[in-house]
Every structure is written in structure tokens, then in C-alpha cells.
Chain A
Amino acid sequence: MSYEYVSRARKDSSESVRVMEALTSRGLKPVAVVWKPETGSVVIHFDAVLTPEDKERVDKVMRALGYMVG
């Protein structure tokens, strides 16, 4: 399952690495993170659908990184 988050801030190609580190440091285990420079968004891939609680934890991390959650 994948979840996409959009950022209003300017990012570079290392953004996927930063997002991966932020999520894993909080115990979340995405299998891949894709940085899409053309839209300024990241797509976070998990190997299963997240529970509402885990989805909330991901949203919290992504807000902290400057992404819009909605």
C-alpha cells in the first residue's frame, strides 16, 4: 500500500532518504519511499495497509517534515 504526501517547501532528490530515516527512527517500516520532484511529493510504500493508528503516526511524522496531510 502506498501513501502520497505533498510538500510546499522546495526539496531535493535526497528527500526520499530523509523521509525514510524519519519514519524508521519512529518504528515505522516503509519498504520504499519515492521522491517525485515534478510534483514535490513523496510516495511512501508499505507492504500492507496501515492501521488507523499507524497511519496517524505517519501523518504526524510527515507534518513535522513540512508535508500536507489531508
Chain B
Amino acid sequence: MALGMVEFLSPEYVKDALSKLDISLTTLRDAIRGAGGKTLTDLDTQLGNIYGRLDVALSTRASESTLAAVKAQTDKLSFDASNYLRVNVSATVNPPNLDISLSSLRDALRGAGNKTLTDLDTDLNNIYGRLDVALSTRASETTLSGLSGKFPSASALGDSMPNPTTTVVGGALLGFDGTYWRRVRADSNGYLLVTANIDKARIWDGTDYLEINSDGSINVKYIDTNLSTRASETTLSGFSGKFPSASALGDSMSNPTTTVVGGANLVWTGSAWARVGGASGDFVGTTLYGVGVIPQWLPSRQAYLIDNINVTTTEGSTTIASPGAKILIVKNKGDVDAMIGLNASVPTTNPLIVRARTVRVITHRGVTAVYYKTSTGSTTLEIAYFN
């Protein structure tokens, strides 16, 4: 208020006015800001935050009546002591659809292999691992069909086949020389030119090998020594000359004019070879050397001998103890033939005869009686037997 104005202020008024200045301005400021020292700016900040949360109009929120209606419904819910909601199962909608147990449903879904979604996931992961590139990057049906058309249809190979009407692919046969690959060569007839550089060749016949060595020698199963060590043509020819020409054996053959080879006849004793024994004896009036032969059936023991049996025209007999003689040796020592009957009297016709000065050896299943007589005169028998 400007004091320059011509206006009169009552001293009472001034006095009353000044009496209202009872606290200082600082005290007033602090009283207004309070213990937290908040300013209007602080309040404005808080109001700004609150306004931010009030992002829709309050009228769009549930009214009291709406909440009352909701409460009326929630009041119908009841809880047990553990605060679990009680539900009337009988009122469950569509109970007939619960026709199998959860475990049955689980097993049916897992199947006989008892596979779970984890198993499928593992398999899918494996498959995915193999699908390491996109399928679209692989050969298409069109590409494979075009390639297939370049090959002939399958057919058995055979002679006189027609010329191919499809793609012909040449095979470039190459051989490695240790450094480079070289083309295999053929002559003008198409025959393969081969120069083999091998140390040893082996040809297998299924049983043995024929080996050709790098030094030119050949190893054959039965050629195990040098040919020069074998008999020469000269040697064999000379040897051949020592033998007569082949000819059929027959009577009245001429004396051999070539080498005569003596045969050293040996017999096996069971433990060693021994020379065949020879002995001289009378052979049809002539003394000759012959081979000594021991019949296999001849017993090695001593025969029982009955000597000096006088035989006349009256039949006599010698009885031999059972089981009888298996080998009967009758020797006629006289000059008259003796007629013999074995196990019975001397037959009247065609009797067995032991000629004078001869020996007859008889093998028999058992001679228990020997009957004898002469037709004229007398003789002497010697009977020996083995039983």
C-alpha cells in the first residue's frame, strides 16, 4: 500500500493488524512444510504418480452393486478346514465320458513300447541331428528321373547283346606307378598290354601253389631239386639197354641176352627180414635145391607117432583118443599099397590108398579110427597125428 496516497489509517487498525504478526515467517514456513520438510513440489510429484495410475476413468470400474452381486455368488462357496474348495462331484458335467482310468489312458497313449513324449523328443532330436541340411538342398525327383533315363533297363549280361541305346560311360582304367596315374594300354587288337613287375608269382589250383620266382626258377610241389641232378638221357638209355625188350612170357623162350637180375627173396619174421631158406632134396629122381615151405596149418608141436604097424590083407585098426586127429599123416614104409578107411572100415570100392613108399597127409575134423589093409601082401605103416 502506497503511503503517498491521501488516505488515513486508523492507529487502531494498524495496531490490530500488527498484533496478528505473532510468528515469524520462518516459523510459518517450517510449520507448513512439516517434519518431512515437504514442499509443494514434492506433493506435485506424488499427484503426478497417482494420476499415472488412474489411467482409466473411475466410472469404468466395478460399482458397489456389481461387487455385491459377485459377493452373493461367492458366498455360495464353502471350504473345508484346510481351505480346500468343496465341489459336488455328482454335479460334474458329462461324467459318462470318464470311461477309462487315467492310468489306462496313459498306458494306451504310451503303447506297447512304453514310449513317452520324452522318448519321442529324443527321437525327434536324433532325426533332427541327421537332417543337417534342408531337404530342399537334396536331389529332386526331377533330377533323379532325368539321371535314371540315361541308364539302360536292367537285364542279364550275355553274348550277342544289342548295342546300348542309352548313355555309354567309358571307364578310364589307370594304374599307379608310384608317382603318377598312368593309362592302361592295349594293342591294336584290343588285347591288354601287361608288363608285370613282380617278385614272385603264385598260381593256386585249389590244393597247391605253382611259384615262379624273380630269378626265373619255378617251384612245383614235386620238383624239389635241380633237373641237372636227375638221370640224364644217356644214363637212362644205358640203363634201358640192360633190360630185354618187353615180350609175353611163354614156353620155349630163348635165353636172355641182357642183364640177368637175381632176386634176393626175403621173408618177414615179425621183427626182421630173413633170407628164404633153401634145401636140397630128391625131386622126381633128381637132387635139386628148392625153397623150404612150412605150411601154415602145420602144428609146431611134436606129433604122436605110432610106428611099425604091420598091415596085411586082414583089416587092422588104430583108434585115436577123442577128439581125434585133425592132421593125420600116414606113411607107407613098405612096397605094397595100403588101403585106408577113416572112422569106418576100408571101403570095398574106391578106398583111400597110400601108395608104397609115400606119405599122405590128411586134414580132418577128427579122425578117431584108422582102418587099413592091403589087397595082396603086406606093408608097414607109420601113423602120426595131431589132435
Contacts and interface: CB of A to CB of B under 8 A. Distances in A.
Given A13-B371, A45-B306, A34 B314 contact: no
A34 B321 contact: no
Contacts, number: 60
Interface string B295-332: 00000000010100110101111111110000000000
Given A16-B369, A36-B316, A37-B316, A30 B321 contact: yes
A67 interface: no
B317 A13 contact: yes
B318 A35 contact: yes
B314 A33 contact: no
B310 A20 contact: no
Given A17-B319, A47-B304, A38 B312 contact: yes
Q: For chain B, which range describes its interface: under 10, 10 to 19, 20 to 34, or 35 or more residues?
A: 10 to 19
Interface of A is mostly: mixed
Contacts of A35: 316-319
Q: For chain A, which range describes its interface: under 10, 10 to 19, 20 to 34, or 35 or more residues?
A: 20 to 34
Interface in A36-62: 36-38, 45, 47
Contacts of A16: 317-319, 369
Contact of B321 (A13, A14, A24, A36): A24
13 contacts: A16-B317, A16-B319, A17-B317, A17-B368, A30-B321, A31-B320, A34-B309, A35-B319, A36-B316, A37-B316, A45-B304, A45-B306, A47-B304
Given A16-B369, A35-B318, A38-B314, 8 more contacts: A16-B318, A17-B368, A19-B319, A20-B321, A32-B318, A34-B317, A38-B310, A45-B306
Which 4 A/B pairs are nearest by Cβ-Cβ distance? A16-B319, A13-B315, A20-B319, A37-B314
Interface of A: 12-17, 19-20, 24, 29-38, 45, 47
